[in-house]
């Protein structure tokens, strides 16, 4: 049976159509019963994934074609979730590299493909979206070949099959000018060019690459059987990171079948399975023979590049919206997250209610914060900080990223100016269709808050992507936000009268009637310094009749921030307060006199 299995991972840049292609393969394989109805993006079952249109957690699904079982792993495309990709590639023997026929190979494509080639996986290239205008499939095919060559692919890997098609329309073909009406050429290519999962005889070995949770059986270990056969009810050794060995027993075994799982008595090498009944395991541990345990090489995950301070919500409005507000809740939730989110690290600080959380980038951390607020947590986070290192010569180094911006030609100058101000250096500038394609190397610090400025300067027409490259020498100070904050003096609802009178001092983040508290950041000042204002004052009323000189208040709508924008916006002396229904910015020290005292001592 094991020889009749193909394990493939689908890798691509964000929005190039991975999950859509998996949808079509699932539909083409007739997994569903006739009465079952499913929406699009079947595998993106997490509400956050559906809203943002991105895959955050990798998923497994299997289809059967011509007597062969194909295990498909849908992976995230964003570099912030690279930890997910690095571990699931261990399950695969080959990869489907999906590339947009217009955009070509993008930064994250290179990032994930580099990992796959280093593991020796056989690629199949799918040039997707050939139904789009301005597409250039032949150029993209050459570009992918050059990319693989530059990444050090072997002769066998460079001899890849290329298919063209549209996953949205559900067709694939070996020639992009010849449109078919199904995905058969793709499934044929998988069976003919991806090597079958190897069958290795000997004592059983399985590396745990992912985990699931069930309220009935607890934590479930998922991985690929590397060697031998796993049997239900057998005793095994669990080999941990610290070298310790723990005796465990397999209670149940499941293999992936269609969109679900099927219980089996035994699983032989090459198959991906789920094991329940094991306690105390971590991702990367090896499940081995009870008598002669042998450990598999642990999964190596790239280091985090950014950290943020997480603390309990102690604002005047705490506990109004959330269920989980104590430091114990926060601690338990953060440490629970590290069990399945490999690229995340949590460290306790000298304060009981404050934790340092290390991640891959703003998106990686914001998905955690958004998930927690939806679960009913209230918390506060500080300004994201980039992690610096010292090299062998004692010099300070910082993470450098490759930034790619596609922008209309008339806006290219503004983008170059904005990136250069943040110590970015342009390496490539070339036309790409009707857009200008710009590439820069830029410190990770320079990316914080940059997206907002670029989108404002280009009227929302810029497409930005970035990926971590390496640590290089520190580039010196980078100017942060130029404008100061407008801070509320009192607690209570703001009045339209006062907000109207203060509009020349800056733009507001709150509407009239909205409850605010003293020390909350309620707007952006037009000048670099912070300004404390009282927006609760009402108009002085007299019993004299006004002679019609009062104008109605004309108030500009408040500025709305997404979670990521707010995380990038706050300054060092500010917190972002996140509750299930609200996102507020505030000063760490709410009292104005305390802030002034602190500023004097800091000088």
The verdict on whether residue 521 carries a ligand-binding annotation is no
**Pick from 349, 343, 338, 362: nearest CA to 311:** 349
Task: Please state, in angstroms and rounded to a whole number, the distance separating the CA atoms of residues 533 and 531.
Answer: 6
Q: How far is Cα of residue 562 from the mean position of the Cα atoms in its chain? A: 15
The verdict on whether residue 20 carries a ligand-binding annotation is yes
Characterize 61-77 residue by residue with b for buried, 16 or more Cβ atoms within 10 angstroms of its Cβ, and e for exposed.
bbbebeeebbbbbbbbb
In terms of DSSP H, where are the helices of 121-270? 137-150, 155-158, 184-193
Partners of residue 428 on adjacent β-strands = 439
In terms of DSSP H, where are the helices of 263-352? 327-340
SS in 3 state form for 23-60? Answer: HHHHHHCCCCCCCCCCCCCCCCCCHHHHHHCCCCCCEE
Task: Please state, in angstroms and rounded to a whole number, the distance separating the CA atoms of residues 514 and 483.
Answer: 23
SS in 3 state form for 80-119? Answer: HHHHHHHHHHHHCCEEEEEEECCCECCHHHHHHHHHHHHC
Task: Please state, in angstroms and rounded to a whole number, the distance separating the CA atoms of residues 89 and 60.
Answer: 12
Of all helices (H) and strands (E), which one includes residue 264?
strand 260-264
Q: Which phi and psi (to 5°) does residue 340 adopt? A: -110, -15
**Pick from 510, 517, 526, 528: nearest CA to 492:** 517
455 to 287, 374, 412, 444, 475: CA distances (angstroms): 49, 28, 12, 18, 25
The verdict on whether residue 501 carries a ligand-binding annotation is no
Structure tokens at 177: 């000018």
Secondary structure class of 338 (helix, strand, coil): helix
Secondary structure class of 331 (helix, strand, coil): helix
In terms of DSSP H, where are the helices of 458-588? 496-501, 563-569
Task: Please state, in angstroms and rounded to a whole number, the distance separating the CA atoms of residues 251 and 590.
Answer: 54
The verdict on whether residue 504 carries a ligand-binding annotation is no
Residues 6+ apart with CB under 8 A from 39: none
Give the Cβ contact number of residue 17 at 10 Å. 22
The verdict on whether residue 128 carries a ligand-binding annotation is yes
**Pick from 545, 516, 519, 517: nearest CA to 530:** 519
Please count the CA atoms within 13 angstroms of the CA of 577 that sit on its side-chain side: 25
The verdict on whether residue 465 carries a ligand-binding annotation is no
The verdict on whether residue 17 carries a ligand-binding annotation is yes
The verdict on whether residue 264 carries a ligand-binding annotation is no
Q: What angle do CA 451, 54, 465 make, to 5 degrees?
A: 30
The verdict on whether residue 492 carries a ligand-binding annotation is no
Task: Please state, in angstroms and rounded to a whole number, the distance separating the CA atoms of residues 342 and 345.
Answer: 8
The verdict on whether residue 405 carries a ligand-binding annotation is no
Annotated binding-site members: 15-20, 128-131
Annotated binding-site members for GTP: 15-20, 128-131
């Amino acid at each position: 049976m094991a020889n009749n299995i193909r394990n493939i991972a689908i890798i691509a840049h964000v929005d190039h159509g991975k999950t859509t292609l998996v949808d079509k393969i699932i539909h083409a394989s007739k997994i569903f019963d006739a009465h079952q109805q499913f929406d699009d993006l079947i595998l993106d079952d997490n509400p956050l994934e559906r809203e943002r249109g991105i895959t955050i957690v990798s998923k497994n699904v299997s289809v059967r074609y011509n007597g062969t079982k194909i295990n498909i792993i849908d992976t995230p495309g964003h570099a912030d979730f690279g930890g997910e990709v690095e571990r699931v590639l261990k399950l695969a023997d080959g990869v489907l590299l999906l590339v947009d026929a217009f955009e070509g190979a993008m930064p994250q494509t290179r990032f994930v493909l580099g990992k796959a080639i280093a593991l020796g996986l056989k690629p199949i290239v799918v040039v997707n979206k050939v139904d789009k205008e301005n597409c250039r499939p032949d150029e993209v095919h050459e570009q992918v070949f050059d990319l693989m060559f530059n990444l050090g692919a072997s002769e066998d890997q460079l001899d890849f099959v290329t298919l063209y098609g549209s996953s949205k329309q559900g067709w694939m073909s070996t020639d992009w000018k010849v449109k078919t009406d199904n995905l058969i050429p793709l499934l044929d290519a998988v069976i003919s060019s991806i090597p079958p999962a190897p069958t290795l005889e000997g004592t059983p070995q399985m590396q745990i690459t992912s985990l699931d949770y069930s309220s009935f059986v607890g934590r479930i270990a998922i991985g690929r059987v590397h060697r031998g056969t796993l049997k239900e009810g057998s005793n095994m050794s669990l080999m941990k990171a610290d070298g310790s060995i723990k005796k465990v027993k397999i209670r149940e075994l499941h293999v992936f079948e269609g969109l679900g799982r099927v219980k089996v008595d035994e699983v032989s090498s090459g198959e991906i399975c789920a094991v329940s009944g094991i306690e105390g395991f971590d991702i990367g541990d090896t499940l081995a023979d009870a008598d002669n345990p042998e450990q598999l090489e642990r999964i190596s995950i790239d280091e985090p590049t950014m950290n943020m301070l997480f603390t309990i919500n102690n604002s005047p409005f705490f506990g109004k919206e959330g269920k989980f507000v104590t430091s114990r809740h926060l601690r338990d939730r953060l440490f629970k997250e590290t069990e399945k989110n490999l690229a995340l690290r949590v460290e306790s600080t000298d304060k009981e209610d404050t934790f340092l959380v290390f991640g891959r980038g703003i998106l990686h951390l914001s998905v955690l914060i958004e998930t927690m607020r939806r679960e009913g947590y209230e918390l506060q986070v500080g300004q994201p900080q980039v992690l610096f290192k010292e090299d062998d010569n004692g010099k300070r180094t910082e993470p450098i990223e490759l930034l790619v911006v596609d922008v209309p030609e008339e806006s290219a100058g503004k983008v170059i100016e904005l990136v250069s101000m943040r110590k970015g250096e342009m390496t490539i500038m070339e036309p790409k269709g009707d857009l200008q394609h710009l590439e820069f190397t830029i410190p990770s610090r320079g990316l914080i808050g940059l997206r907002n400025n670029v989108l404002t300067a280009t009227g929302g027409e810029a497409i930005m992507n970035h990926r971590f490259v390496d640590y290089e020498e520190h580039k010196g100070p980078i100017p942060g936000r130029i404008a100061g904050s407008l801070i509320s003096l009192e607690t209570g609802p703001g009045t339209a009268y006062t907000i109207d009178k203060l509009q020349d001092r800056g733009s507001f983040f709150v509407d009239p009637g909205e409850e605010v508290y003293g020390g909350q950041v309620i707007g952006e000042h037009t000048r670099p310094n912070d300004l404390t204002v009282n927006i609760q004052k009402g108009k002085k009323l007299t019993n004299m009749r006004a002679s019609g000189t009062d104008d109605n208040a004309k108030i500009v709508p408040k500025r709305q921030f997404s979670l990521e924008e707010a995380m990038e916006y706050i300054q060092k002396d500010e917190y972002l307060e996140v509750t299930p229904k609200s996102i507020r910015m505030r000063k760490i020290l709410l009292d104005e006199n305390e802030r002034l005292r602190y500023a004097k001592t800091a000088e």
